[in-house]
Amino acid sequence: MRTAISRLSGVPFAAALATLVLTAGCGSVSVESDDGDQAKETPSATPSSAADTSSGEGTWLLGMTTAGGIDGETSTSVYISYNPSTGQATARELPGVKAASASAEEASLLVSADRQWAIPDTTIPKAEEKSGELSVYSLTRGGATKIDIGDRTGRDDVTPIAWAFDPERAGTLRVVDTKSRVWAVNVAGGKAVQEDPLPTNGWVFLNGFNRNTGEPYVSRIDNEDTLPAGNGPADTDPVTREGGTVLPAGSPGISELPPSPCRLGAGYAEAEGLTWVFCADADTVTAFYLPEGAKEWTAYGKPSTPVAPEAAGFPLVLPPAE
């Protein structure tokens, strides 16, 4: 029997994101109509010649959440693949999760490094925990692929309780079981590989995974220490992917930039200095960029086709996969 214990670090994903639409940075980019009235916000397709906007020609992955239920306790992730240069976009919706355990910082661990797969939460659903049949959802074809954890590990004593993607290995998940064992499992197939087990003497696993390595960590039962270190409430390292920084809606990183053109938007800061922000103020998504040292955002490309949900949160922007 497994005892449910509240997470010591990170705000639960569903609860934190339900309020972000109220706290996202505000700003506007508008044009004037002929009669002087303010017209609808429309991005320009002409990038600044001084900025390297080549990444805008690839397909970005945007993760949004919707909130449902009486108290907004059910969160549903919607993933949008969007090419800002063409406006082409597709959306995939995952099953809803009640009282999700993944923190906002762990949102990128719910997506595979190659942007092909996603899982709804870091906690494995009770029905799948019992059956050992784990559902992983395709972001390209739609539908789910089943992973038989007993077959993959070659053992009949594996009861999986939590998982997250490895951000460095395409299509690879780390699965933690009730015996504190850690298994590396590739969605495409093959046998699971057992990694170092989690310590248990004086430590407890609370479904936590490091935001940048995807490695599970344990928390000390009598203080706020973690093992590996760097995962406690006071540890606020930003989420980094592909050499840049992920900027969720309402995050300190995005609030430190010039006023956003979005009511609800999230961004990504490239290592070279260019920052992107994507607005989900309507059912279309629009893109803007900000060169290093600039004070104003510049509209880029074309709005997406109507794919965006009425989002409660916008925790994830990932650049085109390398």
Alpha carbon 49 to chain centroid, angstroms: 31
Confidence (pLDDT) at 322: 73
Tell me which long-range contacts 243-247 makes (C-beta under 8 A, separation of at least 24).
Answer: 243/270, 243/271, 244/268, 244/269, 244/270, 244/271, 244/319, 245/269, 246/108, 246/316, 246/317, 246/318, 247/275, 247/277, 247/317
Q: pLDDT tens digits, residue range 192-208?
A: 999 999 999 999 999 99
Confidence (pLDDT) at 27: 38
Is residue 93 a contact partner of residue 320, using CB atoms and an 8 Å limit?
no
Residue 22 gets which letter from DSSP? H
Confidence (pLDDT) at 69: 76
Domain residue ranges of the chain, discontinuous segments joined by +? 22-318
pTM: 0.85
Mean pLDDT by 10 residues, the chain (322 residues): 37 39 35 33 53 96 91 89 98 95 94 97 97 97 96 98 97 98 97 97 96 97 95 92 96 94 97 96 98 96 97 96 80
Confidence (pLDDT) at 70: 73
Confidence (pLDDT) at 49: 57
Confidence (pLDDT) at 242: 94
